[in-house]
Amino acid sequence: MAVRVQSEAFDAAAEMAALTAGREDIGAVASFTGLVRGGAIRAMTLEHYPGMTERALAAIEAEAHRRWPLKASLIVHRVGRLLPGEPIVLVAAASEGRHAAFEAAAFLMDYLKTDAPFWKCEERADGTSDWVDAREADGTAKARWG
């Protein structure tokens, strides 16, 4: 189990390899990587609540381990100013079989969206910027886990 909040970019493939290195008890790893979308957005700045963020991510990860028989897991979330195409977030869940890994990875993302204190501010091409509003769909996605 590990959570990290960092400004540096991460290499999702290297993170996944490290998660399972030397392990023979893991039969499945599922991961999700979130990227900054371009289009009308020139950059995205992520603010967070140092201290609470790490606590919230650790609590979300612990809840995933309570619900599924996970062998390993990882949450990496970036903060600061990010450009289109850059990775924002990585979650990974490892277990003996695929079902727990798939479900736990989705659970980690759904809970992270609504319960981890991060805020996105979008910079548009015309130089204006705005804080991103929370989406009702994110609350719905979390609620499906009961």
Q: From CA 68, how far away is CA 127, in angstroms rounded?
A: 45
Part of the chain binding another protein (CB under 8 A), chosen from 11-19, 35-43, 63-71, 117-125: 117-125
Is residue 7 a contact residue for another protein (CB under 8 A)? no
Q: Tokens for 70, please give them.
A: 């996970």
User: Is the CB of residue 109 less than 8 Å from the CB of residue 76?
Assistant: no
Minimum Å gap between C-beta 113 and another protein is: 4
**By the rule CB under 8 A, 132 interacts with another protein:** yes
Per CB under 8 A, which region of 11-19, 66-74, 96-104, 113-121 contacts another protein?
113-121
What are residue 100's phi and psi, to 5 degrees? -60, -40
Residue 97 CB, shortest distance to another protein, in Å, is 26
Reported as half-sphere exposure (CB side, CA atoms, 13 A), residue 36 has a value of 27
Q: Scan residues 45-104 and list those touching another protein (CB under 8 A).
A: 46-49, 51-52, 55, 77, 88-89
Left (φ > 0), alpha (ψ -120 to 50) or beta: where does 69 sit?
Answer: beta
Q: For the chain, how big is the Rg over CA atoms in Å?
A: 16
Q: Minimum Å distance from CB 133 to another protein?
A: 7
Residues near another protein (CB under 8 A) are 34, 46-49, 51-52, 55, 77, 88-89, 109, 112-121, 131-134, 138
